[in-house]
Amino acid sequence: MQLKDTAAVVTGGASGLGAATAAALAAQGATVFALDLPSSIESAPAVDGVVYVEADVTDEAQVRAAVGTAADSGVPLRTVVSCAGIGPSMRILSKKGTHDLGLYAKVVQINLVGTFTVLAVSAEAIAKTEPLEDGQRGVIINTASVAAFEGQVGQVAYASSKGGVVGMTLPAARDLAQHGIRVNTIAPGIVETPMLATVSEEFRAGLASGVPFPQRLGRPEEYARLVTMLVEHDYLNGETIRMDGALRMAPR
């Protein structure tokens, strides 16, 4: 599937993986609608072909409005990429007591329920477009994490949410096959994103040393490149692809 003269939606599109993805899709000729919170959009870079839209993925009405804007842009909505997410850390039991249940629910609500909301609402819009060759109408790409497979100490909420994203990939692809919509998931390892901006170079070097090869942190641009490959490769469907340099996370 080609990106030129199509519309794309990217959640979490104002920074990190989302910003790199939005820029990469725009460079391929797509009109990109980058969804994010107002506070994130304020500091987002201006990129040709990228339109920022205020939307909270946990608010169905806001998601519907944002997706509607993309669907009514004058070119068909073909690509949706979910990058919005949070990753707080907390143990189930600690000196402070049990894991904050509200925090657990918040992580699942944003990372998993938010991803599903974007998927479902976007699929409805994509299904209304004219089919391409082989009946294809579009592709939805979600973001999981290697924590879905090897969650570390303190990552129970994050790993639960990302494991849910992995778990819904194949059934979502099967559900949407009749509408010509592919569904894939990327599970990144340790990527150089704003979440790591506050840690020291020494700490980053320690993280990189655990990656077999190449022995460095991943780059947002590499995630974006994988997104464009998944868009263009029409036979990749229902897959979760790890992007981690062969990293397998230790317990801590």
Q: Compute the mean pLDDT over every residue in the chain, rounded to the nearest whole number.
A: 95
pLDDT tens for 65-94 read: 999 999 999 999 999 999 999 999 999 999
The answer to whether residue 230 is domain-embedded is yes
The answer to whether residue 248 is domain-embedded is no
pLDDT tens for 108-126 read: 999 999 999 999 999 999 9
The answer to whether residue 154 is domain-embedded is yes
The answer to whether residue 79 is domain-embedded is yes
pLDDT tens for 3-34 read: 999 999 999 999 999 999 999 999 999 999 99
Q: What is the pLDDT of residue 198?
A: 61
Domain count, the chain: 1
CATH number at residue 45: 3.40.50.720
The answer to whether residue 251 is domain-embedded is no
Give the domain range for residue 160: 7-243
- Residues with a known catalytic role: 158
Specify the pTM: 0.95
Q: What are 57-63's contacts with CB under 8 Å, separation 24+?
A: 57/11, 57/82, 57/84, 57/110, 57/114, 57/115, 57/117, 57/118, 58/109, 58/110, 58/113, 58/114, 58/117, 60/117, 60/121, 63/35, 63/117, 63/118, 63/121
The answer to whether residue 201 is domain-embedded is yes
The answer to whether residue 36 is domain-embedded is yes
pLDDT at 221 over 80: yes
The answer to whether residue 80 is domain-embedded is yes
Between the alpha carbon of residue 205 and those of residues 90, 155, 196, the distances in Å are 23, 21, 12
Tell me the average pLDDT across 176-181.
98
